[in-house]
Amino acid sequence: MRASLAVGIEVTATAAVVAAALVQGAGDSPLSTALSLAVPSQYRSLVQEAGNRCPEVTPNLLAALLTQESGFNPKARSPVGAQGIAQFMPSTWETHGVDGNGDGKRDVWDPEDAIPAAAGYLCDTAKDVEGVPGDKQSNMLAAYNAGSGAVRKYGGVPPYKETQNYVRSIRALADRPPGGGGSASTRQAANAVNTAEGMIGTPYSWGGGTADGPSTGSCCSPHGHSGSSIAGFDCSGLTLYAYAKSGISLPRTAAQQYAASEPLTPQEARPGDLVFYGNSATDIHHVGIYVGGGWMIDAPRPGTKVRFDRLDVMRDLYSFARPKPGKTEEI
């Protein structure tokens, strides 16, 4: 959720962590017949009720949007200041926030307020663009992301790559048939992102990082940088550690990690997948952990620290890929 078109284009659905929406199945909840998506049990009734606010919004679509926006993390904060489970910008919350639980407060950090507010804002957005040609849900999501004015201007989903990917990702997730809930791999992906996020601010160290955490590295990088006196991570050391904490053992280098993963199209990528950079499978030089909306967590280079970076921070993005336990092909 964005305060302006400019912010909407710059950052879409950045999640600081991936939470239980990606890791919990519907279980035995009586609402599971209405929600084919995995939603944390404490939020299922909220999503079910709020997801029937207007014809354009369904429980599955609302669940997909919250998954994309924050991974159902009520404490999520994006690099540009979007807040809470629905990633409201403060100015947008001022005009669209609601007191959903009747406690006398409109609290963006409280899912009981933010989830119905997100549904209400979606419905308001749908009304803003109801006369625009094309699919109503897609236009609504595009307006939610890039602004109603942009959708009206272009007569539908505007030609912004990030907005188009945003709409496509949410629609694909919302349209997922029953049985597509959580699994071991999604739990591991969530744990990996949470682990990596916990290392933000850790120094970069060439050759640093093991399955046990930060470590001193080695000498020397192609440009002569040594990690032998720095306890921290290089890019593949960070991903190795994050997935070790999730029960998946990755090889040490970025190229080896690519060979141990299943390549994906950008449309298939989900938070927790790995992002690889290079010109071919044999010369991959960098890896990060995708967190959604065009962002990743990575250890960029000597002199920096583990941080959030845009996917386009480097020009040679080669592939997304999903770690697979036991996959150890040679390249």
- What is the 3 state secondary structure string of 118-133? HHHHHHHHHHHCCCCC
Distance (Å, whole) CA 145 – CA 165: 11
Nearest to 189 by CA among 245, 252, 235, 268: 245
E strand or H helix that includes residue 48:
helix 41-50
The pLDDT of residue 326: 58
- pLDDT per position as a tens digit, 305-322: 999 999 999 999 999 989
The pLDDT of residue 185: 64
Query: Tokens at residue 172, please?
Result: 């694909």
User: What angle separates helix 59-70 from helix 161-174, to the nearest 10 degrees?
Assistant: 130
Distance (Å, whole) CA 15 – CA 199: 15
The pLDDT of residue 165: 86
- Report the Cα–Cα distance between both ends of the chain, in Å, rounded: 41
Positive or negative: CA dihedral 274, 276, 280, 283: negative
Residue 294's φ and ψ, nearest 5 degrees, are: 85, 20
Distance (Å, whole) CA 82 – CA 71: 14
Which amino acid belongs to residue 55? Answer: P
Rg from Cα positions in the chain: 20
Calculate the alpha carbon distances from 57 to 3, 13, 106, 129, 138 in Å. Answer: 21, 18, 22, 14, 11
The pLDDT of residue 176: 60
The residues pairing with 323 across neighbouring beta strands, listed in sequence order, are 261
The pLDDT of residue 267: 82
Nearest to 18 by CA among 162, 181, 192, 179: 192
Residue ranges for the chain with pLDDT beneath 50: 2-34, 179-184, 327-331
Neighbours of 141 (CB within 10 A): 29
Distance (Å, whole) CA 40 – CA 20: 5
